[in-house]
Structure 1
Amino acid sequence: MILITGGLGFIGTHTARALLDLGESVVLVQRRAPEVTAPLAGQADGRLVVEQADLTDRAALLGLGDRHKITGIVHLAGSVPWPPGADEPVEGVRKSVAGLLNVFHAAAEWQVSRLGLASTIGVYGGVEAPSPLAEDLPLPMTAHHPIPTFKKIGELVAGHLAGATGLDVVNLRIGAIWGPLGHPRSPFFVLPQLVHAAVRGEVPDLTSPAWGANAEDGGDLCYVKDCGRAIALLQVADRLRHRTYNVAGGRMTTNGEVAEAIGRAVPGARVELREGRDPAGPGRDLHLDITRLREDTGFEPAYDTASGIADYVSWLRAGNAR
């Protein structure tokens, strides 16, 4: 069975669904009281197990191995002291590091075949190379936000412990992910609020994110079902040739393209974007190279912008809007 931390979260749910579709069995671990969501409901063949455990409690985590034969781990649960104020700063860092190290401890004790660790597109912040950005680019030893800060730390720790323990560890640099079960607003890109506002028949509030809401702004936007499938394929691949993989759409998507797709899915939607680029933004296209992912797993995105938004709108209209 493959254990997924944060397995009932946004990306975790879709990763679990993809693994089940590939014939795998999964154990989903959640810190809060677990509640199976619609994409996983009705899985009655015994291949889906839900457990509640706090990753900072090593004994509780290791106890999962007493109840289940765990052969792999996908670590998606938050390992970042975020949002601000959730804990006293030093305590927040302690919990983040403890959870990550406990996952490594469990992986070594259970002798899992592979440990996948969620990282982020944000680690490329400050890289001056032109897009698409490949995994072997050198990263600056700085970060503008706690999420890429702690993901860089996690990647460095992963490299050390993989060498010291012999574990097969894979860093998953995940792009800007959107779709069913995601938050209706993102502090990093504007697509979610554009879609939710259109379904509600409202004019979108473009005050968040702080920049990047103009028509020619955008980034590597990947539909969550594709993201979950990519992670699942990396987890079950017989052999991977690299330690780090970009998990993304592999192309630039502008807000203008998003608005056009919304207009087709929701005729009459009032998507009013500012023209050009936001002068406070990076001033360039930014997307990731997914050649490694394609070559080692055969992955290809199943959703483009139009089909993803149509699917998301249908999901929201089915009563899932927040």
Structure 2
Amino acid sequence: MILVTGGLGFIGRHTVRALLDLGESCVLVQRRTAEVPEDLAGERVVVEQADIIDPSALPSVGERHEITGVVHLAGSVPWPPGAHEPVDGARKAIASLLNVVEAARQWGVSRVGVASTVGVYAGVAEEGPLQEDVPLSMSSGHVIPAFKKIGELLTDHLAGVTGLDLVNYRIAAIWGPHGHAASPFFAAPALVRAAALGTEPDLAPLYAPAHAEDAIDMCYAKDCGRAIAALQLAEVLNHRTYNVSSGRATSNAEVLAAIRNVVPDTRVDLPAGGSGRRLWLDTTRLAQDTGFRPAYDTERAVADYVSWLRAA
């Protein structure tokens, strides 16, 4: 049974679905009481209430279930801003990761996967592809990549001293069902939602204005879940860190073209221009060690997302 922290979150839901499709059973750990969601009802899924900041919470879950692997997707980050007193927030973020690793060590699990982010690459290159062994900056302009870098250093250290197979997932820009209506990092979720529902796109949360030529490595949520499941279940992994992404840069212009093919009467658009930078993640390691290939190109992803939004 695979324990998934954050299993009812955005990426967690898709990871659990992919694990189930591969024949696994899952226990999902949630801080608040939660029921098994309708789309997973009747499956091999159990939801346990446990706060992973509490060092006794996860061992008690292990007393009720035979845990064979862990996928740690719950945020080991003091987020959102202002939600925690700074020092206490940092302490809790690091403690949650340490508690997961300690529980996994006690259980003798085969592998622990830990969510990191594409944001750790900020400032290291102007163009892609970005490979996992590129030297990273020791500073961060945002709390999420800052704590993900800390997490990667901790997992590397702990893997060496505990013998656990600890694996970092550097996850790209993810979009699709169960995701936020708008992202501060890229425009695609808001554009697709507006086209599906016939509304104006809410681009206010973006950190910078969006243009048609802006490009980012976007990975559809279902592909992201499949990639994480493949890494969790691979017989042998040859690296400590893997990029989880589509392996290509997708521009807003490509997204808009796909939207117009799927929703011909849409008026969703963006102004021309943009930086022209094309950053994407190299997925050679992921493909070589798991055989993973994305199943969703841009148009298929847009069509699936529009269908889900209209049915939700």
TM-score range with shorter-chain normalisation? over 0.9
Pair 1:307 & 2:307 matched: no
Aligned-pair distance for 1:105?
A: 0.6
Aligned-pair distance for 1:213?
A: 1.0
Match of 1:258 in 2: 255
- Alpha-carbon deviations, 1:280-317, whole Å to 9, x = none? xxx51110000000010000000011001100100111
Match of 1:118 in 2: 115
Match of 1:134 in 2: 131
| TM-score, normalised with respect to structure 1 | 0.95
Q: Determine helix, strand or coil for the equivalent of 1:93.
A: helix
Aligned match for 2:227, one of 212, 230, 245: 230
Residue type at the aligned position of 2:153:
L
Match of 1:3 in 2: 3
1:99-110 correspondence runs (5 A) = 99-110=96-107
Structure 2 CA distance for partners of 1:38 and 1:179, relative to 1, 3 Å? farther
Q: Determine helix, strand or coil for the equivalent of 2:56.
A: helix
Tell me the distance in 1 between the aligned counterparts of 2:38 and 2:196. 20
- Alpha-carbon deviations, 1:140-181, whole Å to 9, x = none? 101110000000000000010000000001000000000000
Tell me the distance in 2 between the aligned counterparts of 1:36 and 1:215. 39
Match of 1:295 in 2: 288
Contact 1:203 1:271 in 2 (8 A): yes
Contact 1:212 1:218 in 2 (8 A): no
Higher mean C-alpha displacement, 137-146 vs 27-36: 27-36
Tell me the distance in 1 between the aligned counterparts of 2:175 and 2:26. 23
| TM-score, normalised with respect to structure 2 | 0.98
Match of 1:156 in 2: 153
Contact 1:11 1:228 in 2 (8 A): yes
Pair 1:42 & 2:42 matched: yes
Residue type at the aligned position of 2:65:
H
Contact 2:36 2:45 in 1 (8 A): no
1:64-79 correspondence runs (5 A) = 64-79=61-76
- Alpha-carbon deviations, 1:54-95, whole Å to 9, x = none? 001111111011001101000000110011111111111111
Tell me the distance in 2 between the aligned counterparts of 1:109 and 1:299. 30
Unaligned runs of 5+ residues in structure 2 are none
Contact 2:36 2:46 in 1 (8 A): no
Aligned match for 1:96, one of 93, 98, 104: 93
Pair 1:186 & 2:203 matched: no
Match of 2:16 in 1: 16
Tell me the distance in 1 between the aligned counterparts of 2:230 and 2:209. 32
Provide the alpha-carbon RMSD of the alignment: 1.1
Tell me the distance in 1 between the aligned counterparts of 2:243 and 2:288. 12
How many residues are paired up? 312
Tell me the distance in 1 between the aligned counterparts of 2:129 and 2:38. 35
Match of 1:168 in 2: 165
Unaligned runs of 5+ residues in structure 1 are none
Match of 1:199 in 2: 196
Tell me the distance in 1 between the aligned counterparts of 2:42 and 2:300. 26
